C-alpha cells in the first residue's frame, strides 16, 4: 500500500500521522466548547457531526448517529456501515474530488491546532490483558523469581482482568499520584501513603464495535473490533505488590488509564497485519487464528521532567504481543460473557526482548535497581511529580504512516486524604 | 421500630416482605410490556412512573426522573431527595392517608402477582469484594492449604476485584453453564469444556447512588450508598482454579451475576445496623467506621432440582461480614478512582462459622469431598443442569420484616462453542 493522495496538501506529507489512508475518528471542541465528532486529515479535523446534520455525509439515512460527543452510535451500525462511511470520506477527501465537494469539506473542517480533543467514545467496560510475553516474564521474575516467571497458564490463556472504565481519560488529562496501602517486606504493617513506585504501561487498546451475547470465534471477534488507540495503564507498583494476591490488581490500576484521542480503525491498519510469534505449545481450538491478527506498529515512550527536555526511554512494536486483540475478545466471550459496543481491551504492556524495548519503568529500571539516565542529567526509577509521560505510535507504510497521535499525561503530587 | 400501618391490608401482615417500613424500588411491566418504575407494598406495586407523570408524586419538580426503565436518574438527585420521596410515599400509603389519596394510589398500582420484574437499575460498573472472613478462610484453606488460608493483606484491606457489569441479570433469568479452560492438577494440558464445578456465591450487593471523583471517608461512602439487593455471583470453580493466578478471577465469574429485583433502601435497613466483628488488627484510619455499618439480615440458600422439592442448604446473616459496604466503597475510591451512580458492589460470599451457614457449594461440600444431601434423596457437590438456586433474605423487626424478594436462577446445559 502506498500513499492515497488528498486534495488537502497537509495530508500528503510523508510525516503526517493523518494521511487519507488513516482517517481516524475523534471528538473535538472549538472555542464554543460544543463537542462534535471529527475525522483527522493532515492538519485539519473534518466536522463529521456537521456533515451529517447538513446531509452531506450520513452514516445512517434514518438516524443522526454523530449528533453526540462519542462514536458509539456510529459503531452500533456495524462493519458494512463502517466500510461505506470510510469509502465515502476517502472519495470526498481524495485528489479526485470535485470543486463543490472540496468547498463543502473545507467549510466543514477546522484547523486541528485550534481544537481541543476529548474522549472519542464512551467506555462501556474496560478489560486489561497481559498478552506481552517479555513483560510477563520480566514482571514474573521480579515478583516471583525466575523459576516462576511465566505462570503455568500463560501460554494457554490470554490472561486478563477487569479494569475500571470510569478511570479512562483522554490524552492530556493530568494524573494525580495515588494514595494507597503499601507495605514493604520488612515492615510489620501496611501504611496509607502516596505511591512511591508510580509507573506507566505502554499498551494498545482495542475498541469493541459490535455487541455479542455468547462465545465468539476468533474470526468473529476480529470483525467486531472497530479500531485501536494507544493506552497507558498507569500503575502504582507498591500498592499492586501488597494488594494483588489473591484476586488481582485493583486500586493500583484504578487512578487513571490514558488513551490517545484518535480511534485508528482496523481498516486503516489492515495493510500492517503480521503473524503472532511461533506458539510454544498448541493453543486450544477456540483460540486458533485464521490469519495474521497482530499489527506492525512502532511504539515508543518519552519522559519529560518539569521544565526539561524529553528523553525517549524505550522503543518497541505491536508485533511483540503473543495474543491478538481478536484472541483476547474470543477468550473474553468464551464463558458467555456479553460484550458491548464501547468495551475497551488493553493489550497488556508491550515489551520487546531487549532492555531498551521495555514498556514500563518497572522493567526498564528492573524494580528500581538500575535507574534510567535522562538527557538533562538525573535519572528515574519511577515517575516523579511533574514528569510528563508520552506514548507514540505509528504503522509505517511506503511513503506514508498511520499515526495514532500522542498519549500523554503529567503527574501531579498526591493529595492528603479527606476526613 | 415496629410495623408502620398502611391502609393497604396486605402490607400489614407479619409475613409480607413489603410492609410500609420497606418500600423497595424496582422496575416492572404488565401485559403491554412497557417497563415502569415501581414501589413494592404488600401484594401490590405502586406505579411510580405513572404517579410522576400525573403530577401526584414527583421526586424532582423540574424533571421526569422516573420516565425510564431504571432508578438511576432518581438516585442522581441525592440523599435529601431520597428521604423526601420516601417520606411522601409513606404518608400516602400510611393508615392516615385521606380517601382521595387512597383512590389515587389504588388507581396507580397493580397486583404484584401479574407483573413481570426487570433489572431495577442500570449497572454502571460491578465490583466484587471478598469481605466475609469465614468464606476467605474456607476457600483459602482449600486453594492454598490451612497455613496460607487467610492472605496476609486480608485483615488490612477489603479485598476486591472488578467484575463484569454486562453479565448482571435480574432474578429469574436462566443461567447457562459456561464453557471454559479447565485443567486438573494431574492433566498435562488444559481442555475447553463445560464447567463441572459450577457454583453460587451468596452475597449482598450495595448500590452506589452518588458519584464521586476522589477519596471518600467511610462516613461519606455510607451516605452515598442508596440501597441493597441479594446477589448471586455464579462461579465456575474449575475455570477459576486454572485462570486466577496471577491477575484474579475473570471468565469464571463473567457468565452471570443475578440480583434480586427490589432495591431495599439504606433507609429501610437503618434500624438493623450492627457492629462489625472485633478487629484482630487495627484498621488504617481511612477505613475507620464512625458507627455500626453492617446489617442484621437473615440470609438463606435453597436448591430445587428439576421437578423436585427445595432443600434449604444454608442459613447465614449479613453481620458475618468483616468489612461493610461503606468501607469497601471508601477503599474503592482511595486511589482517586471515580465512582458512579449505579455502581454495584458485591459483598463477597457471606459464610457463617458453621458448616450449615456456608454461602457457596464449594464450601458446603468442601470442594466436592462431602456431598450435600437433598430432601428428595440424591446429593450435590456442585450445581447440576436443571437445578434452580434461590437466595432469600430479610431483616426481622418487631412484628414486621424488611424482605428482599427472591434471587433465583435455573441452570441450563452448556452449549458447544461456535465455529
Please check whether residue A3 lies inside any domain of the structure: no
| Per-residue b or e along B116-136, where b marks 16 or more CB atoms closer than 10 Å to that residue's CB | ebbbbbebbbbbbbbbbbbbb
Quick: pLDDT tens for A198-234.
999 999 999 999 999 999 999 999 999 999 999 999 9
**Is A417 buried (19+), middle (13-18) or exposed (0-12) by CB count in 10 A?**
middle
Chain B partners within 8 Å of A192 (Cβ): 284-286, 334
Please check whether residue A278 lies inside any domain of the structure: yes
The percent of residues above 70 in pLDDT, for chain B, comes to: 100
Assess whether B136 and B17 both reside in one domain.
Answer: no
Question: Residue A416: which pLDDT band, with cuts at 50, 70 and 90?
Answer: confident
Cell numbers for B220, please give them: 461519606
For position B416, what pLDDT does the model report?
A: 79
Rounded Cα distance between A231 and A201, Å, is 8
Rounded Cα distance between B243 and A233, Å, is 22
Assess whether A49 and A138 both reside in one domain.
Answer: no
Mean pLDDT of A366-379: 96
Rounded Cα distance between A177 and B335, Å, is 8
**How many A-B residue pairs are in contact by the CB < 8 A criterion?**
207
The binding site of A for Mg(2+) comprises 233, 253, 257
C-alpha closest to that of B198 among B141, B144, B255, B281: B255
- Mean residue pLDDT across chain B: 97
Ranges assigned E (strand) in B80-224: 109-111, 116-118, 126-129, 160-162, 168-170, 175-176, 179-182, 191-194, 198-199, 202-208
Please check whether residue B417 lies inside any domain of the structure: no
Q: What is the CATH number of the domain that holds B329?
A: 3.90.850.10
Give the ipTM. 0.97
Mean pLDDT of A83-87: 98
**Residue A266 zone, left/alpha/beta (φ > 0; ψ -120 to 50; rest):** alpha
Question: Residue A144: which pLDDT band, with cuts at 50, 70 and 90?
Answer: confident
Q: Is A334 in contact with B192 (Cβ distance < 8 A)?
A: yes
Closest residue in B to A212 (Cα) is B166
Contact B273, B294 (CB under 8 A): yes
Residues of A taking part in catalysis: 135
Closest Cβ opposite residue A125 in set B160, B165, B417: B165
pLDDT over 90 (residue B417): no
Chain A partners within 8 Å of B153 (Cβ): 181, 183, 190, 242-243, 245
Assess whether A70 and A213 both reside in one domain.
Answer: no
Please check whether residue B4 lies inside any domain of the structure: no
Chain A partners within 8 Å of B254 (Cβ): 332, 335-337
Closest residue in A to B148 (Cα) is A246
Q: What angle do CA B396, B399, B400 make, to 5 degrees?
A: 55
Q: What is the CATH number of the domain that holds B109?
A: 2.30.30.230
Assess whether B297 and B390 both reside in one domain.
Answer: yes
- Mean residue pLDDT across chain A: 97
Rounded to 5, what percent of chain A is helix, strand, coil? Answer: 25, 30, 45
Rounded Cα distance between B270 and B268, Å, is 6
Assess whether A224 and A330 both reside in one domain.
Answer: yes
Quick: pLDDT tens for A282-298.
999 999 999 999 999 99
Rounded Cα distance between A295 and A276, Å, is 9
How close B201 gets to chain A, by Cα (Å)?
A: 16
Instruction: Single out the catalytic residue among B118, B134, B135, B331.
Output: B135
Quick: pLDDT tens for B71-92.
999 999 999 999 999 999 999 9
Please check whether residue A4 lies inside any domain of the structure: no
Please check whether residue A419 lies inside any domain of the structure: no
Chain B partners within 8 Å of A165 (Cβ): 125
Please check whether residue A1 lies inside any domain of the structure: no
Q: Is A418 in contact with B162 (Cβ distance < 8 A)?
A: no
The strand pairing partners of B257, in sequence order, are B168, B233
Chain B partners within 8 Å of A160 (Cβ): 247, 250
Annotated catalytic residue B332? no
Question: Residue A191: which pLDDT band, with cuts at 50, 70 and 90?
Answer: very high
Rounded Cα distance between B150 and B144, Å, is 9
Rounded Cα distance between A40 and A20, Å, is 9
- For residue A208, the tally of other CB atoms under 10 A from its CB is 25
For position B143, what pLDDT does the model report?
A: 81
Pairing of strands B175-176, B407-412: parallel
The binding site of A for substrate comprises 130, 144, 240, 244, 349
C-alpha dihedral over B115, B120, B122, B126, to 10 degrees?
A: -130
Q: Is B255 in contact with A151 (Cβ distance < 8 A)?
A: no
Chain A partners within 8 Å of B337 (Cβ): 164, 166-167, 251, 254-255
Assess whether B388 and B343 both reside in one domain.
Answer: yes
Contact B17, B401 (CB under 8 A): yes
Closest Cβ opposite residue A418 in set B143, B215, B243: B215
Which letter does DSSP use for residue A163 in this model? -
Centroid of chain to Cα A100: 37
Assess whether A94 and A149 both reside in one domain.
Answer: no
Q: In the listed set B85, B118, B151, which residue is the last one of a domain according to the structure?
A: B118
User: How many residues are recorded in chain A?
Assistant: 419
Closest Cβ opposite residue A161 in set B161, B216, B338: B161
Mean pLDDT of B95-123: 98
With cell 426503565, the residue in question is: B69
Quick: pLDDT tens for A394-415.
999 999 999 999 999 999 999 9
Q: Could you please report the per-residue DSSP string of B222-243? A: HHHEEEEEEEEE-EEHHHHHHH
Closest residue in B to A158 (Cα) is B243
Q: How many domains does chain A have?
A: 2
Q: Is A339 in contact with B166 (Cβ distance < 8 A)?
A: yes
C-alpha closest to that of A265 among A67, A96, A39: A39
The strand pairing partners of A315, in sequence order, are A300
Q: In the listed set A54, A83, A118, which residue is the last one of a domain according to the structure?
A: A118
Assess whether A24 and A108 both reside in one domain.
Answer: yes
Closest Cβ opposite residue B335 in set A162, A178, A281: A178
pLDDT over 80 (residue A64): yes
C-alpha dihedral over B225, B227, B232, B238, to 10 degrees?
A: 0
Assess whether A273 and A310 both reside in one domain.
Answer: yes
Q: Is A248 in contact with B161 (Cβ distance < 8 A)?
A: yes
Q: Phi and psi (nearest 5°) for A202?
A: -80, 115
Contact B300, B312 (CB under 8 A): yes
Q: In the listed set B69, B95, B118, which residue is the last one of a domain according to the structure?
A: B118
For position B209, what pLDDT does the model report?
A: 98
Rounded Cα distance between A353 and B60, Å, is 59
Contact A247, B249 (CB under 8 A): yes
Indicate which of B176, B250, B286 best probes the interface with A, i.e. most A CBs within 10 Å of its own CB: B250
Cell numbers for B325, please give them: 459496604
Closest Cβ opposite residue A157 in set B214, B243, B419: B243
Chain B partners within 8 Å of A156 (Cβ): 181, 183, 189-190
Cell numbers for B12, please give them: 400489614
Assess whether A301 and A382 both reside in one domain.
Answer: yes
For position B150, what pLDDT does the model report?
A: 94
For position A157, what pLDDT does the model report?
A: 98
C-alpha closest to that of A216 among A132, A123, A325, A131: A325
Contact B134, B320 (CB under 8 A): yes
Assess whether B145 and B259 both reside in one domain.
Answer: yes
Quick: pLDDT tens for A265-275.
999 999 999 99
Which letter does DSSP use for residue B196 in this model? S
Please check whether residue A263 lies inside any domain of the structure: yes
How close A282 gets to chain B, by Cα (Å)?
A: 10
For position A419, what pLDDT does the model report?
A: 61
Chain A partners within 8 Å of B242 (Cβ): 153, 157
Pairing of strands A407-412, A175-176: parallel
Q: Which of A80-84, A198-202, B148-152 is predicted with the least confidence, judged by mean pLDDT?
A: B148-152
How close B122 gets to chain A, by Cα (Å)?
A: 12
Q: Is A192 in contact with B334 (Cβ distance < 8 A)?
A: yes
Helix (H), strand (E) counts: chain A? 10, 27
For position B419, what pLDDT does the model report?
A: 62
How close A361 gets to chain B, by Cα (Å)?
A: 20
Q: Is A164 in contact with B160 (Cβ distance < 8 A)?
A: no
Q: B99-107 vs B79-93: helix axis angle to the nearest 10?
A: 110
Q: Which domain holds residue B396?
A: 126-412
The binding site of A comprises 128, 130, 144, 201, 203, 233, 240, 244, 253, 257, 349
Assess whether B202 and B325 both reside in one domain.
Answer: yes
Contact B339, B306 (CB under 8 A): no
Closest Cβ opposite residue B162 in set A124, A163, A417: A163
Closest residue in A to B289 (Cα) is A419
Amino acid at each position: 500500500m502506498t500513499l492515497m493522495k488528498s486534495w488537502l496538501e497537509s495530508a500528503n506529507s510523508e510525516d503526517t500521522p493523518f494521511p487519507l489512508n488513516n482517517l481516524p475518528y475523534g471528538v473535538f471542541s472549538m472555542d464554543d466548547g460544543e463537542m462534535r465528532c471529527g475525522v483527522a486529515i493532515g492538519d485539519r479535523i473534518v466536522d463529521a457531526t456537521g456533515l451529517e446534520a447538513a446531509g452531506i455525509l450520513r452514516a445512517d439515512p434514518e438516524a443522526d448517529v454523530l449528533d453526540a460527543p462519542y462514536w458509539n452510535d456510529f459503531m452500533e451500525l456495524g462493519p458494512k456501515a463502517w466500510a461505506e462511511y470510510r469509502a465515502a470520506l476517502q472519495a470526498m477527501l481524495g485528489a479526485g474530488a470535485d470543486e463543490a465537494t472540496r468547498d463543502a469539506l473545507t467549510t466543514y473542517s477546522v484547523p486541528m491546532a485550534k481544537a481541543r480533543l476529548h474522549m472519542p467514545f464512551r467506555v462501556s467496560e474496560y478489560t486489561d490483558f497481559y498478552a506481552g510475553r517479555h513483560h510477563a516474564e520480566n514482571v514474573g521474575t521480579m515478583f516471583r523469581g525466575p523459576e516462576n516467571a511465566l505462570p503455568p497458564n500463560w501460554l494457554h490463556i490470554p490472561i486478563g482482568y477487569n479494569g475500571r472504565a470510569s478511570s479512562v481519560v483522554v490524552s492530556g488529562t493530568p494524573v494525580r499520584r495515588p494514595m494507597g496501602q503499601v507495605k514493604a517486606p520488612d515492615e510489620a504493617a501496611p501504611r496509607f501513603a502516596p505511591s512511591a513506585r508510580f509507573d506507566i504501561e505502554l499498551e494498545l487498546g482495542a475498541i469493541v464495535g459490535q455487541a455479542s451475547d455468547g462465545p465468539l470465534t476468533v474470526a468473529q471477534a476480529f470483525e467486531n473490533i472497530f479500531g485501536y488507540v494507544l493506552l497507558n495503564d498507569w500503575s502504582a507498583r507498591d500498592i499492586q505488590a501488597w494488594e494483588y494476591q489473591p484476586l488481582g490488581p485493583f486500586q493500583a490500576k484504578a487512578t487513571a488509564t490514558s488513551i490517545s484521542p484518535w480511534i485508528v480503525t482496523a481498516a486503516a491498519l489492515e495493510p500492517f497485519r503480521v503473524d503472532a510469534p511461533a506458539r510454544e505449545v498448541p493453543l486450544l481450538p477456540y483460540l486458533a487464528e485464521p490469519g495474521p491478527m497482530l499489527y506492525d506498529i512502532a511504539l515508543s515512550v518519552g519522559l519529560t521532567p518539569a521544565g526539561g527536555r524529553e528523553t525517549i526511554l524505550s522503543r518497541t512494536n505491536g508485533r511483540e504481543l503473543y495474543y491478538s486483540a481478536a484472541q483476547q475478545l474470543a477468550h473474553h466471550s468464551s464463558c458467555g460473557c456479553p460484550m458491548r459496543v464501547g468495551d475497551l481491551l488493553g493489550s497488556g504492556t508491550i515489551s520487546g526482548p531487549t532492555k531498551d524495548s521495555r514498556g514500563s519503568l518497572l522493567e526498564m529500571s528492573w524494580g528500581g535497581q538500575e535507574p534510567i539516565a535522562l538527557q538533562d542529567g538525573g535519572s528515574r526509577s519511577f515517575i516523579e511529580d511533574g514528569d510528563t509521560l508520552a506514548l507514540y505510535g505509528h504503522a509505517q507504510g511506503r511513503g506514508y504512516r498511520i499515526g495514532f497521535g500522542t498519549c500523554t499525561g503529567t503527574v501531579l503530587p498526591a493529595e492528603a486524604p479527606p476526613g
